[in-house]
Amino acid sequence: MGPFAMMTCHDVSTLVSTGGLHETLLVRRLGVRMHLAMCRHCRAFRRQVETIGRAARAAALAFERELPEDFESKLVQRVRVSLIGGER
Amino acid sequence: MVQLDDTYLGRLRRRDPEALRAVVDEQGRRLYRAARGMGYSKSEAEDLVQDVFVTFIESIERFEGRAQVGTWLFGILHHKSQERRRTVVRDELNDPIDQIFESQFDARGNWIRPPTAPDRHVSAQEAGKAIQDCLEGLSPSQRDVFQLRQVEELSAAEVCKISGHTITHIGVLFHRARMKLRECLEGKGWGRSR
């Protein structure tokens, strides 16, 4: 059994959840990939994490839809007024 | 993407309305949704975003053009948000979610209570609604980091610059936020096959 197989479900799920996968060493990334190929529980965990991401992005889109079309124009106007006020 | 080269910086320093409009067009909605995601009401989020742009223009002299405009603006948002919260809530060294997470593994690091893959048929809208309540259960720092890393897709290094936390701490806060949301969504019966 090679070193890749030594990663536990705990190691893999922690790395997935902390978002540290991209910054980790290549050998560990390969270890995670191999583990995920073999372990359906960790694949399910990764899907949970991905679903949380999709849900959060959907919530963010709902927030954006609250804004009127002229949001940017009004914002620029308010910022300019505020800057002029600050100069006095 | 707006590039803050010398010409553009010069226009912003002169408070050129078109230059300001270009930054607002690119980043305004993004900052608003981030402020909402961090827990501010509609009117508070609008005020906060306005405040961010005012500070951005007022402090443009200090901007050296090395950072991305987005990172710079999110840094101001983070700072303003902390000012509004008045007290910096310190995250506990140990959050109860750590124990919940650890209890799901045996001594060899294998799952005791294996996770169930979420239902693929849950719509994004449904999921979005469910997570809004769950976000309330996060600490302010967890919520901020989650918003920046997960929704705005900023790198850990960028969030370090914005928040002043170490890379390791960003990872811990992100992990805790995700695990709390996972528990909350599971508690709502979401994430399980129907």
Decide if B178 contacts A49 (C-beta within 8 A): yes
The token pair at B185 is 């969504």
pLDDT tens digits, B155-187: 999 999 999 999 999 999 999 999 999 999 988
Mean pLDDT within A15-30: 88
Decide if A49 contacts A16 (C-beta within 8 A): yes
CATH class of B96-187: mainly alpha
Residue A3 has pLDDT above 50, yes or no: no
Band of the pLDDT at A73, cuts 50, 70, 90? very high
A67 interaction partners in chain B (CB closer than 8 Å): 29, 32
Q: What is the pLDDT of residue B91?
A: 62
Å between A57 CA and nearest CA of chain B: 6
Distance, in Å, from the CA atom of B183 to the CA atom of B194, rounded to the nearest integer, reads 17
Contacts of B80 (CB under 8 A, 6+ apart): B48, B51, B52, B55
- Is the Cβ pair B21, A17 closer than 8 Å? no
Per domain, the residue ranges of chain B are 6-85, 96-187
Q: What is the pLDDT of residue B62?
A: 80
Band of the pLDDT at A70, cuts 50, 70, 90? very high
The CATH code belonging to domain B6-85 is 1.10.1740.10
Residue A10 has pLDDT above 50, yes or no: yes
Q: What is the pLDDT of residue B194?
A: 44
Instruction: Point out the residues of chain B with pLDDT beneath 70.
Output: 1-6, 64-67, 87-92, 190-194
Distance, in Å, from the CA atom of A26 to the CA atom of A40, rounded to the nearest integer, reads 22
Q: What is the pLDDT of residue B1?
A: 63
Q: What is the pLDDT of residue A5?
A: 53
Mutate to test the interface with A, among B53, B60, B119 (most CBs of A within 10 A): B53
Q: How many CB atoms lie within 10 A of CB B68?
A: 16
Query: Which pTM does this prediction carry?
Result: 0.87
Q: What is the pLDDT of residue B88?
A: 56
Query: Comparing B6-85 with B96-187, is the CATH topology the same?
Result: no
Q: What is the pLDDT of residue B63?
A: 76
Among candidates A59, A63, A82 on the partner chain, residue whose Cβ is nearest the Cβ of B54: A82
Q: What is the pLDDT of residue A2?
A: 45
Among candidates B49, B110, B175 on the partner chain, residue whose Cβ is nearest the Cβ of A75: B49
Interface pTM, i.e. ipTM: 0.87
